[in-house]
Amino acid sequence: MISVRRASIDDLEALTAAYIAAWRAGFGQMFPAAVFMQDDFDRQRQAECRATLLDDKVDVHVADRDGHVVGFLGVVESHGVSEIVELWVHPHSWGSGAAQAMLAAIEDQHRNVGRTYLTAWLPEDSPRARRFFEKASWRPSGEIGKLEIYPNEPNRTFEYTRTLV
């Protein structure tokens, strides 16, 4: 069974494990192998997870599957817009409903406080993520940006939106 709850610092290790595994599996086709073999690759991902978890501006939730954290979702609100900035599920739990449960919980939470709109930026080279959001009734807005994690390997991103009614 999958449940969704707010994340705590005690979840850091599990968040990091899910993030690193999902990053490697989900972005493997997007970046050259050398990116994943850098000595500090895992350490960088851990620092990113820690920063996200400790950032007061990011509302982080986890998906707990049978007592184990298998993924997390982070939302930032700015200027009246709520944006999903993180959505990661360990590849062993892809297809389990964990991502759907987190997305539905965040949509409900925002709907219940009167929000009518959510947004997320998805990499062009991540067809799995784009299919997932489209299946959940999110649609591309037409806005295009850049994912510049590694400046030598830029990727376009597409904004997806969801109207909450």
Q: Per-residue pLDDT for 32 more than 90?
A: no
Q: Average pLDDT, whole number, for the chain?
A: 89
How confident is residue 153, by pLDDT bands cut at 50, 70 and 90?
A: low
Q: Residue 146 — very low, low, confident or very high, per pLDDT cuts 50/70/90? A: confident
Asked whether the predicted pLDDT for residue 135 surpasses 90, the reply is yes
- The pTM is what? 0.89
Contact status, residue 55 vs residue 86, Cβ threshold 8 Å: no
Q: What is the pLDDT of residue 42?
A: 81
Rounded Cα distance between 32 and 9, Å, is 32
Q: How far apart are the first and last CA of the chain?
A: 27
Q: Give percent of the chain above pLDDT 70.
A: 89
